[in-house]
């Protein structure tokens, strides 16, 4: 291991470390524009210059590997002069438009100019101006501000795997362009806004909305897919203005998908902000008292076996627990957290979790995707697959429709029948899995929601056994969930009790007039028409599908407005925190249910969030270990491998990445994205 000195302090670093990284390890900050630790090294901005004693020219530290005995100076006069020189050149063509630039206050160039900029420019010639480009509805461009660091180009090329950005021309004439006007065809495109060190790429929906110092920051977790990405919610005056990723190395690293970032304008549209009661075919706004009284009356009148409760894709553990407790206390068996009808082994966590862990993808050496499109279902997880392919040539095969996943895929066809061949070992890819040290089988939640979901699950399970997918330090049987609520509901055991109806059963019963009362907790991805003749309560934050035929609408809080725990596809509990209170009369989900239970005269055994969380912990202890992966779940038997497979092929479960939930469906930005993709 080489030893070097940095500003006189000795430090030993790993072989191959760059000078910039060594400086960071020594606690010395090096300014940079083009360097980014998750992208390849470009070495083109020269802001990171340092001095090596005995070497006549300053070095670009980001690209220079450490050699033994190097003496690096980062604070010498020469370094200062060199960086001032670089800064002067960068500013030659950079407009002085900080007052009208959205990057202002969080701009690397602005910050560095404070330390290395001259007070007055010596440049008297004409500045260049560059035509702005159309990168679509998410990314606003002001290309005259670009300093050609190529971070955006490298991100799209390397991480997103959609090489649609490039540099045209050279020198003075160089410009960043997109392959096609009007849209970047990546679910991760918004990340270029974070990466751009200047104001060349900024968020289009957030344009001129706020200055960074006016915002309150709330650390939370994303719920618009099931990855559980770490986010920061930036809000002002009771309104979410933007969502940014936070670093979580085990999940999203530092990226988030475009829906997670940009759907938040949907949080203020079509909101339920007061209780409503259906009357004469229309809705009448009522007080909470009246609404709860109406619900209680109907619920008391309904027979428990003709009562059902269904949970959607967005509620947290607290709301789901309160609803399940309330219903079970009344002897209602038909309670289900799987609105999509997914077939999971009841009580077998390994049958619904991404057991390998998202970070486990970095160890996988063969992957089979079954009925899943990770690019649309969890873009940040897909980025890991892509990296594993780029760095280690990960072989990926898929049973399902052909789509571009941004890495090569061996297509095994969309027919489920091939699962039988795989499970019997007569398919060549079974050998690839068997030879792998860390084989990974990823089953999509959509594949399990088919009528033959149990058979698909069972065959995947049998294949897992056949190829030895679980070892001492590895369990490669993994389910990729799409909804933030599902794994949590399953961990809580919110499935019908004996004799109860599951989601499909509820809908069928409702259609046949066999239900008196249905309680939908944010259940929107169903056919609401089924509940036309059933007394239906819809509790949620948006007047979306589930609200259509409801008799009572109870306004709940969205994920940015309530404290709630979410379990991601790995089974990892994480906490969402409120950025501001819910609008109007809307209330946190659990509080509504606690109030309803009181109204019913049989209060729940908790009145506070802490009490409710203790109840959850008592039932499922590991759910209290926030941010921790759950204990390894044994691969107990589950599924029905000998059942009959459907002839129908696997289908794309996310035809429209941009609109998958009540929030994203209410978002004008997401609608614009869907249009842009359709037009291109």
Binding site for ligand SF4 (CB under 6 A): 146-152, 176, 195-198, 200-201
Residue of 22, 23, 32, 317 that binds ligand FES (CB under 6 A): 32
Residue 35 touches which of ligand SF4, other proteins, ligand FES, none (CB < 5 to 8 A by kind)? ligand FES
363-402 in b/e burial notation, b at 16+ Cβ within 10 A? bbbbbbbbbbbbbbbbbbbbbbbbbbbeeeebbbbbbbee
Choose between 258 and 570: whose C-beta lies nearer to ligand SF4: 258
Q: Are 308 and 521 in contact (CB under 8 A)?
A: no
Binding flag, residue 47, ligand FES (CB under 6 A): yes
Query: Residue 364: CA atoms inside 13 Å, Cβ hemisphere, count?
Result: 35
Choose between 34 and 223: whose C-beta lies nearer to ligand FES: 34
Residue of 6, 13, 35, 192 that binds ligand FES (CB under 6 A): 35
Choose between 47 and 666: whose C-beta lies nearer to ligand SF4: 47
Q: How many residues lie near ligand FES (CB under 6 A)?
A: 12
Task: For the CB of residue 106, give the shortest distance to ligand SF4 in the complex, in Å.
Answer: 14
Residue 674 touches which of other proteins, ligand SF4, ligand FES, none (CB < 5 to 8 A by kind)? none
Looking only at residues 138 through 167 of this chain, which bind other proteins when binding is defined by CB under 8 A? Answer: 157, 163-167
Rounded to the nearest 10 degrees, the angle between the axes of helix 589-599 and helix 609-619 is: 90
Choose between 5 and 167: whose C-beta lies nearer to other proteins: 167
Q: In what helix (H) or strand (E) does residue 663 lie, and over which residues does it extend? A: helix 662-665
Write the burial class of residue 168 (CB in 10 Å: 0-12 exposed, 13-18 middle, 19+ buried): exposed
- Other residues' Cβ atoms within 10 Å of the Cβ of residue 404: 11
Residue 32 touches which of ligand FES, other proteins, ligand SF4, none (CB < 5 to 8 A by kind)? ligand FES
- Other residues' Cβ atoms within 10 Å of the Cβ of residue 243: 26
Would you call 79 helix, strand, or coil by DSSP?
helix
Contact window for ligand FES (CB under 6 A) among 30-38, 331-339, 373-381, 388-396: 30-38
Choose between 169 and 282: whose C-beta lies nearer to other proteins: 169
Between CA 141 and CA 101 the distance in angstroms is 11
Distance of CA 474 to the CA centre of its chain: 24
Q: Are strands 366-370 and 396-399 parallel, antiparallel or unpaired?
A: parallel
Lookup: tokens for 569: 């596809």
- Other residues' Cβ atoms within 10 Å of the Cβ of residue 582: 23
Between CA 521 and CA 555 the distance in angstroms is 10
Task: For the CB of residue 229, give the shortest distance to ligand SF4 in the complex, in Å.
Answer: 22
Binding flag, residue 250, other proteins (CB under 8 A): no
Looking only at residues 52 through 111 of this chain, which bind ligand FES when binding is defined by CB under 6 A? Answer: 60, 62
Residue 48 touches which of ligand FES, ligand SF4, other proteins, none (CB < 5 to 8 A by kind)? ligand FES
Tokens 């007047």 belong to: 543
Binding flag, residue 130, other proteins (CB under 8 A): no
Q: Are 153 and 176 in contact (CB under 8 A)?
A: yes
Residue 164 touches which of other proteins, ligand FES, ligand SF4, none (CB < 5 to 8 A by kind)? other proteins
Residue of 81, 179, 209, 296 that binds other proteins (CB under 8 A): 179
Q: Which residues are at the interface with ligand FES (CB under 6 A)?
A: 32-35, 43-48, 60, 62
Q: Which residues are at the interface with other proteins (CB under 8 A)?
A: 157, 163-170, 179
């Amino acid at each position: 291991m080489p030893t070097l000195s940095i500003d006189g302090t000795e430090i030993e670093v790993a072989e191959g470390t760059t000078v910039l990284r060594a400086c960071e390890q020594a606690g010395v900050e090096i300014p940079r524009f083009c360097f980014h630790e998750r992208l390849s090294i470009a070495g083109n901005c020269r802001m990171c210059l340092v001095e090596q004693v005995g070497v006549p020219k300053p070095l670009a530290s980001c690209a220079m590997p450490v050699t033994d005995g190097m003496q690096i100076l980062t604070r010498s006069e020469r370094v200062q002069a060199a960086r001032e020189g670089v800064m002067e050149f960068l500013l030659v063509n950079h407009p002085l438009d900080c007052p009208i630039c959205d990057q202002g206050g969080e701009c690397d160039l602005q910050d560095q100019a404070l330390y290395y900029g001259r007070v007055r420019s010596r440049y008297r010639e004409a500045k260049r101006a560059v035509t702005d480009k159309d990168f679509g509805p998410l990314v606003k461009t002001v290309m005259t501000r670009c300093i050609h660091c190529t971070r955006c180009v490298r991100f799209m090329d390397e991480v997103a795997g959609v090489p649609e950005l490039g540099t045209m021309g050279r020198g003075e004439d160089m410009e960043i362009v997109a392959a096609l006007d009007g849209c970047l065809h990546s679910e991760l495109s918004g990340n270029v806004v974070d990466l751009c060190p200047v104001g060349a790429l900024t968020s289009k929906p957030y344009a001129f909305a706020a200055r960074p110092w006016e915002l309150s920051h709330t650390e939370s977790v994303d719920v618009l897919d099931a990855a559980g990405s770490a986010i920061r919610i930036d809000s002002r005056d009771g309104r979410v203005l933007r969502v940014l990723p936070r670093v979580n190395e085990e999940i999203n690293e530092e990226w988030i998908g475009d829906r997670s970032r940009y759907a938040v304008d949907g949080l203020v549209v079509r909101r339920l902000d007061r209780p409503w009661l259906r009357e004469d075919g229309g809705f009448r706004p009522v007080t909470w008292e009246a609404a709860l009284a109406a619900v209680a009356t109907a619920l008391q009148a309904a027979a428990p076996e003709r009562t059902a409760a269904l949970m959607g894709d967005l509620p947290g553990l607290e709301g789901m627990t309160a609803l399940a407790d309330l219903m079970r206390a009344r002897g209602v068996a038909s309670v289900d957290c799987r609105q999509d009808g997914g077939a999971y082994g009841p009580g077998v966590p390994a049958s619904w979790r991404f057991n390998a862990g998202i970070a486990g993808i970095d160890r996988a050496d063969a992957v089979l995707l079954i009925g899943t499109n990770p690019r649309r279902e969890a873009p940040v997880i897909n980025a890991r697959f892509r990296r594993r392919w780029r760095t280690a040539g990960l072989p990926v095969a898929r049973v399902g429709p052909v789509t571009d996943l941004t890495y090569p895929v061996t297509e095994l066809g969309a027919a489920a029948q091939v699962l039988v061949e795989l499970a019997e070992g007569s398919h060549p890819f079974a050998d690839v899995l068997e030879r792998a040290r860390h084989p990974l089988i990823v089953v999509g939640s959509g594949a399990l929601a088919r009528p033959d979901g149990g058979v698909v699950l069972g065959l995947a399970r049998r294949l897992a056994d056949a190829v030895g997918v679980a070892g001492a330090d590895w369990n490669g049987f993994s389910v990729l969930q799409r909804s933030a609520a599902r794994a949590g509901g399953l961990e809580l055991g919110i499935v019908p009790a004996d004799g109860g109806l599951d989601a499909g059963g509820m809908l069928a019963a409702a259609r046949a007039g066999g239900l008196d009362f249905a309680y939908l907790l944010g259940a929107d991805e169903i056919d609401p028409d089924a509940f036309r003749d059933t007394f239906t309560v819809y509790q949620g934050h948006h007047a979306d599908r589930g609200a259509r035929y409801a008799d009572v609408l109870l306004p709940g809080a969205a994920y940015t407005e309530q404290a709630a725990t979410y379990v991601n596809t790995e089974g990892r509990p994480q906490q969402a925190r409120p950025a501001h209170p819910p609008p109007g009369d809307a209330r946190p989900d659990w509080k509504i249910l606690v109030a309803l239970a009181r109204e019913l005269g049989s209060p729940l055994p908790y009145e506070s969030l802490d009490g409710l969380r203790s109840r959850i912990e008592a039932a499922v202890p590991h759910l209290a270990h926030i941010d921790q992966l759950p204990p390894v779940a044994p691969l107990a038997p589950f599924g029905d491998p000998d059942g009959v497979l459907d002839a129908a092929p696997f289908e794309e479960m996310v035809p429209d990445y941009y609109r998958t939930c009540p929030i994203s469906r209410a978002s004008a930005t997401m609608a614009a994205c869907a249009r842009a993709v359709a037009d291109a």
